[in-house]
């Protein structure tokens, strides 16, 4: 049917083409749903084909690779948990576990002996070092407590001696005579042990292993009398404990300032750190330079004992001084403190 015949038919029906389109609609509008339906069916068929193809490829790959479908967790082999050696950070196939921290090491990395490896009671070097540091801290605290008990025991013995005499007048005269003699108090770490030997006017308050911060607390909590001269020797243990020398310098500054307040009538002398074999000369000299600056800033005297002691004045450990070194250090402190005939200060 041609367009002329179609239009003639519309004319016979009493309506034109525009009115017919409004009533009936266009051909595309009436057949669009058929096109859309056919497109959706094609998409579904394409999706199913692609899914089947992917499944087939995956199955082929699994068969070629020898992998089972959904194998699940396997408890065999080393693929479950890969243990690393704490010494070399490499994969560990056989080794020994530390009994304290639980870390694993190769026997060669941890220097594990065969007997210890079989017994299961091996401890790594890291745990040994931590345990040793803990024991050293406990030992230092115990030594400080022992020294405090010794000082309290001396005070009690003095009170008993005074009470036994029964002569208050004689006691007052004795106290006055002792006060006329110059007294020197040396306070510090184990370096000053036995430094008061042979010196009647010198008293040493030795605290082995003590640090600058700990000595500050000792000055706050204990009564050390009113000596004419106070010599402070501490800092040897701080060299190994703290890397930053400025921190040690700050602690020493606070300690000397506290000593000036606690002993307002006494002369304060700051003694430098002695050399030791496990610390470089450069580090010791840098710390003593800081001590010298503290002494000049706070108006106290600084003395460096390294220029007074010789190499043979030290013990075999290279840290402490022997008896000869103690006598030499006592002579130096006597000169600095102005005791007896050696009252002049060494230039």
Q: What is the CATH number of the domain that holds 213?
A: 3.40.50.1110
Structure tokens given for 340: 């007896």
Predicted pLDDT of residue 232: 92
- 129 confidence band (pLDDT: 50, 70, 90): confident
| In a domain? residue 257 | yes
| In a domain? residue 216 | yes
Question: Nearest-5° angle of CA 241, CA 280, CA 278?
Answer: 60
Contact 269, 303 (CB under 8 A): yes
Predicted pLDDT of residue 313: 84
Query: Can you tell me the distance from the alpha carbon of 50 to that of 213, in angstroms, rounded to the nearest whole number?
Result: 77
| In a domain? residue 292 | yes
pLDDT in tens, 247-281: 888 889 999 999 999 898 889 999 998 888 888 88
In the predicted model, what is the mean pLDDT of residues 15-30? 57
CA distances from 238 to 235, 251, 254, 279 (A): 5, 10, 15, 11
| In a domain? residue 111 | no
In the predicted model, what is the mean pLDDT of residues 70-95? 66
Q: If you search the block for the tokens 């082995």, which residue do you land on?
A: 208
| In a domain? residue 170 | no
DSSP 76: S
Residues in the chain: 347
Question: What is the strand order of the sheet 202-206 is part of?
Answer: 202-206, 184-188, 229-233, 267-271, 301-303
Looking at the structure of the chain, the number of domains it has is 1
CA distances from 7 to 16, 19, 30 (A): 7, 12, 20
| In a domain? residue 230 | yes
Structure tokens given for 263: 């002993």
- Domain limits for position 275: 182-342
| In a domain? residue 60 | no
In the predicted model, what is the mean pLDDT of residues 26-53? 64
Count of CA atoms in the C-beta half-sphere (13 A) of 115 = 0
Contact 215, 234 (CB under 8 A): yes
| In a domain? residue 264 | yes
Contact 272, 291 (CB under 8 A): yes
Query: Can you tell me the distance from the alpha carbon of 144 to that of 206, in angstroms, rounded to the nearest whole number?
Result: 9
């Amino acid at each position: 049917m041609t367009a002329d015949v179609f239009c003639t038919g519309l004319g016979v029906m009493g309506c034109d083409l525009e009115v017919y389109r409004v009533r009936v609609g266009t051909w595309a509008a009436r057949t669009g749903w058929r096109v859309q339906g056919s497109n959706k069916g094609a998409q579904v068929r394409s999706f199913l084909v692609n899914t089947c193809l992917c499944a087939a490829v995956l199955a082929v790959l699994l068969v070629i690779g020898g992998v089972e479908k959904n194998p699940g967790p396997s408890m065999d082999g080393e693929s479950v948990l890969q243990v690393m050696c704490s010494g070399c950070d490499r994969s560990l196939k056989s080794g020994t576990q530390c009994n304290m921290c639980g870390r694993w090491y190769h026997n060669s990395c941890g220097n594990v002996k065969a007997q210890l490896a079989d017994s299961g009671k091996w401890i790594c070097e890291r745990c040994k070092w931590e345990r040793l540091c803990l024991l050293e801290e406990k030992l230092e605290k115990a030594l400080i407590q022992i020294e405090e008990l010794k000082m309290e025991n001396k005070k009690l013995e003095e009170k008993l001696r005074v009470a036994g005499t029964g002569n208050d007048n004689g006691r007052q005269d004795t106290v006055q005579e002792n006060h006329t003699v110059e007294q020197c108090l040396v306070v510090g770490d184990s370096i000053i042990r036995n430094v008061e030997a042979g010196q009647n006017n010198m008293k040493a308050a030795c605290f082995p292993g003590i640090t600058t911060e700990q000595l500050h607390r000792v000055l706050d909590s204990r009564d050390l009398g009113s000596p004419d001269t106070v010599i402070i020797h501490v800092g040897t243990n701080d060299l190994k404990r703290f890397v930053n020398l400025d921190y040690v310098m700050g602690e020493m500054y606070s300690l000397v300032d506290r000593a000036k307040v606690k002993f307002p009538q006494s002369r304060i002398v700051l003694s430098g750190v002695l050399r030791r074999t496990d610390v470089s000369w450069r580090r010791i000299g840098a710390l003593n330079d800081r001590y010298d600056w503290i002494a000049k800033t706070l108006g106290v005297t600084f003395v460096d004992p390294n220029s007074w002691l010789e190499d043979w004045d030290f013990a075999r450990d290279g840290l402490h001084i022997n008896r000869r070194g103690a006598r030499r250090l006592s002579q130096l402190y006597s000169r600095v403190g102005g005791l007896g005939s050696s009252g002049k200060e060494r230039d």
